[in-house]
């Protein structure tokens, strides 16, 4: 297994389990939507700067909307009302229910990018 694939699998594993990307043990959420400030196990600051994960959250939400539009394009509903009454609530439910996993993935990616940046800065100083 290549190191890059190993990192991707670890990030996905953490996101699906909604656990800390640093220690892979502590849970990220106090309640369904309520994020801990720090990992309860290792103390890692989960969002050192507010809004670090907004880009991923915004585009993953836009991706869900895009998939909904593609679904309606390839499987057009019989009427506009049927489309509104089926696809919109399903897309909304997917968006809300997947929020913790998408947030966990955004935090895992942010952790990986910060760690990579820290290693790069350490190499530059040497
Ligand atoms: Zn942790």
- Tell me the pLDDT band of 125, cut-offs 50, 70 and 90: low
Please say if the pLDDT value at position 123 is more than 70: no
Q: Quick one: average pLDDT of 23-50?
A: 89
The DSSP bridge partners found for residue 19 are 27
Buried b (16+ CB within 10 A) or exposed e, 9-41: eebeebbeebbbbbeeebebeeeeeebeeebee
Instruction: State the distance from the centre of ligand 1 to the C-alpha of 113, rounded, in angstroms.
Output: 16
Q: Which of 2-11, 59-68, 91-100 has the lowest mean pLDDT?
A: 2-11
Instruction: State the distance from the centre of ligand 1 to the C-alpha of 91, rounded, in angstroms.
Output: 32
Instruction: State the distance from the centre of ligand 1 to the C-alpha of 45, rounded, in angstroms.
Output: 9
Q: Quick one: average pLDDT of 46-68?
A: 88
Instruction: State the distance from the centre of ligand 1 to the C-alpha of 33, rounded, in angstroms.
Output: 18
Please say if the pLDDT value at position 99 is more than 60: yes
- Tell me the pLDDT band of 120, cut-offs 50, 70 and 90: low
Regarding pTM above 0.85, the answer is no
């Amino acid at each position: 297994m290549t190191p890059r694939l190993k990192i991707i699998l670890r990030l996905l594993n953490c996101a699906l389990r909604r656990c800390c990307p640093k220690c892979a043990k502590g849970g990220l959420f106090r309640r369904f939507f309520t994020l801990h400030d720090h990992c309860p196990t290792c103390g890692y600051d989960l969002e050192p700067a507010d809004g670090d994960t907004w880009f991923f959250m915004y585009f993953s939400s836009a991706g869900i909307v895009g998939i909904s539009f593609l679904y309606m394009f390839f499987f057009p509903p019989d009427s506009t009302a049927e489309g509104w009454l089926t696809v919109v609530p399903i897309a909304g439910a997917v968006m809300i229910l997947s929020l913790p996993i998408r947030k966990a993935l955004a935090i895992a990616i942010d952790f990986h990018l910060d760690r990579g940046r820290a290693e790069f800065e350490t190499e530059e100083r040497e």
